[in-house]
Chains A and B, each alone.
Chain A
Amino acid sequence: DTAVSQTPKYLVTQMGNDKSIKCEQNLGHDTMYWYKQDSKKFLKIMFSYNNKELIINETVPNRFSPKSPDKAHLNLHINSLELGDSAVYFCASSQVGGGFSYEQYFGPGTRLTVT
């Protein structure tokens, strides 16, 4: 059984379009994340939700809007796609508590190409 799954795996689209990426985890974790990994391979956190509540919101353009319908799902909607949005987007999940960081489990990634 896949622990963290993302769809689609590949997404090719034109500038100006709106697209969504979906993520689901079956690990029973309360916290989910979206990361962006650019062409230089730096992995940067974008958002984090804890039990459907937004807890981390990095400096990300307003065109990116996360939504968590329940604690097992976290979706990412991107409006007006730009060339610079081309990257691999990873969803992750973890448990939380005790003031420490726990292992984050990553999905397989969504490779977004904007043309």
Chain B
Amino acid sequence: RKEVEQDPGPFNVPEGATVAFNCTYSNSASQSFFWYRQDCRKEPKLLMSVYSSGNEDGRFTAQLNRASQYISLLIRDSKLSDSATYLCVVNKAAGNKLTFGGGTRVLVKP
């Protein structure tokens, strides 16, 4: 089983719709969770950290389910500019070694 697994997609989303996708992780000792965004031929950039209680940043909502070992990302009112690959990132244990999922590609269409 991979350490961090994501559905590669693509998720084809009509503009204005809501899309949600999950990421599962294998190490129950993981402590830090993030969603990064990567545009085509660009570097990854932090979208948001994921907190135990769940958190929201504008149209983006992240949730953490420790019991089932997954995190989720929900995008509301999708914009064309949301088209990107979303990378689930988990730290292996205490420390700064991050493990990246393979990414979920989202394509928002008019």
Interface residues of A (CB under 8 A from B): 31, 40-45, 48, 56, 90, 94, 96, 99-104, 106-109
Interface magnitude class on chain B:
20 to 34
Q: Which of B16-24, B37-45, B71-79 is the contact stretch?
A: B37-45
B42 adjacent to A108 (CB under 8 Å) = yes
Whether B95 and A99, one on each chain, are in contact in the complex, defined by CB atoms closer than 8 angstroms, is: yes
In the assembled complex, the Cα of A93 lies from the Cα of B58 at a distance in Å of: 26
SS class, residues of chain A in contact with chain B: loop
A94: chain B residues within 8 A (beta carbon): 96
- Whether A101 contacts B96 by the Cβ 8 Å rule is yes
Using known A-B contacts A43-B87, A90-B43, determine if residue A101 contacts B32 with beta carbons closer than 8 Å: yes
Please state if A107 and B43 are interface contacts (CB–CB under 8 Å). yes
Residues of B within 8 A of A (CB): 31-32, 34, 42-46, 49, 85, 87, 91, 94-100, 102-103
Chain A residues in 8 Å Cβ range of B98: 45, 101, 104
Sample of 12 more A-B contacts, CB < 8 Å, known A45-B97, A101-B32: A44-B100, A56-B97, A90-B43, A96-B95, A100-B31, A100-B91, A101-B34, A101-B98, A102-B96, A103-B34, A104-B98, A109-B42
